[in-house]
Amino acid sequence: MTRRVAILISGGGSNMETLVKSMTGDHPARPVLVLSNTPDAGGLAKARALHVPTSVVDHRPFGKDRVAFEAELLKVLKTAKPDIICLAGFMRILSPEFMQHWSGQMLNIHPSLLPKYKGLHTHARAIAAGDSEHGCTVHVVTPELDDGPILGQAKLRIQPDDTAQTLAARVLPLEHALYPKVLRRFAAGDPTPVTLEQ
Ligand code: GAR
The stretch 116-139 carries a mean pLDDT of 98
- Residue ranges covered by each domain of the chain: 1-103, 109-198
Residues whose CB falls within 8 Å of the CB of residue 64, separated by 6 or more in sequence, listed in order: none
The stretch 127-147 carries a mean pLDDT of 97
Cα(116)–Cα(108) distance, integer angstroms? 15
Q: Evaluate: CB of 88 within 6 angstroms of ligand 1.
A: yes
- Of 7, 14, 40, 145, the one to substitute when testing ligand 1's pocket (max ligand atoms within 8 A of C-beta) is 14
- Alpha-carbon torsion angle 20, 21, 24, 29, nearest 10: -20
Mean pLDDT estimate for the chain:
98
Same fold, 1-103 and 109-198: yes
22 appears as a binding residue in the annotation: no
87 C-alpha to center of ligand 1: Å? Answer: 9
Judge whether residue 1 has pLDDT over 90: no
The residues with which 39 forms a beta bridge, in sequence order, are: none
Judge whether residue 198 has pLDDT over 90: no
39-53: per-residue pLDDT in tens? 999 999 999 999 999
Question: 110 an active-site residue?
Answer: yes
147-184: per-residue pLDDT in tens? 999 999 999 999 999 999 999 999 999 999 999 999 99
Judge whether residue 59 has pLDDT over 90: yes
Q: Is 103 left (phi over 0), alpha (psi -120 to 50) or beta?
A: beta
Atom of ligand 1 nearest to the CA of 43: 16
30 appears as a binding residue in the annotation: no
9-46: per-residue pLDDT in tens? 999 999 999 999 999 999 999 999 999 999 999 999 99
Cα(143)–Cα(156) distance, integer angstroms? 28
Spot the catalytic one: 27, 51, 110, 134. Answer: 110
C-alpha pair distances (Å), 52 with each of 6, 55, 143: 10, 10, 29
110-134 core/surface letters (b: 16 or more CB in 10 A; e: else): bbbbbebbeeeebbebbbeeeeeeb
Atom of ligand 1 nearest to the CA of 175: 4
User: Is residue 15 classed as helix, strand or coil in its secondary structure?
Assistant: helix
69-95: per-residue pLDDT in tens? 999 999 999 999 999 999 999 999 999
**Cβ-based burial of 30 (10 A; exposed 0-12, middle 13-18, buried ≥19):** middle
Q: Is 26 left (phi over 0), alpha (psi -120 to 50) or beta?
A: alpha
| CATH code at 1-103 | 3.40.50.170
Cα(125)–Cα(151) distance, integer angstroms? 23
14 appears as a binding residue in the annotation: yes
**Amino acid (1-letter code) at residue 128:** A
Cα(22)–Cα(16) distance, integer angstroms? 10
Tell me how crowded residue 6 is: count the other CB atoms within 10 A of its CB. 25
Instruction: Output phi, psi for 10, to 5 deg.
Output: -130, -15
- Of 8, 15, 117, the one to substitute when testing ligand 1's pocket (max ligand atoms within 8 A of C-beta) is 15
Q: Evaluate: CB of 141 within 6 angstroms of ligand 1.
A: no
CATH architecture of 109-198: 3-Layer(aba) Sandwich (3.40)
189 appears as a binding residue in the annotation: no
C-alpha pair distances (Å), 190 with each of 72, 180, 184, 186, 193: 32, 14, 9, 6, 9
